[in-house]
């Protein structure tokens, strides 16, 4: 729906850096909210802890993409018509 209105978002998300920054920012937002409301921490501590955990999540995401990147690139190159 949104992609049809504003154009396709697919070209933007084909870049690893864009996906990694999106994971980092969304993770920071969500994990800060969890630290704030579920753990009852004050905002400064919740933001620092949320950033720490979102860096762990984004680092894991990056590692998974890097280690699986060669296999998916090989599959894509074999699927393209000659």
Domain ranges of the chain: 12-69
CA distance 20 to 65: 10
Distance CA 47, CA 2 (A): 30
How confident is the model over 3-24, as pLDDT tens digits?
A: 555 556 566 667 888 889 999 9
DSSP count for the chain of H helices, then E strands: 4, 0
pLDDT classification of 58: cutoffs 50, 70, 90: very high
Find out whether 57 and 21 touch, Cβ atoms under 8 Å. Answer: no
Beta-carbon contacts of residue 18 (< 8 Å; ≥ 6 apart): 12
Predicted local confidence at residue 1, as pLDDT: 46
**What is the model's pTM?**
0.68
Mean pLDDT score, 57-82: 72
Residues 23-44: tens digit of each pLDDT: 999 999 999 999 999 999 999 9
């Amino acid at each position: 729906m949104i992609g049809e209105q504003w154009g396709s978002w697919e070209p933007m998300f084909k870049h690893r850096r864009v996906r990694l920054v999106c994971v980092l920012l969304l993770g920071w937002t969500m994990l800060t909210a969890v630290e704030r409301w579920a753990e009852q921490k004050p905002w400064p501590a919740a933001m620092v802890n949320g950033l720490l955990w979102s860096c762990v999540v984004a680092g894991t995401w990056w590692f998974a993409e890097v280690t699986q990147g060669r296999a998916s690139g090989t599959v894509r190159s074999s699927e393209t018509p000659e």
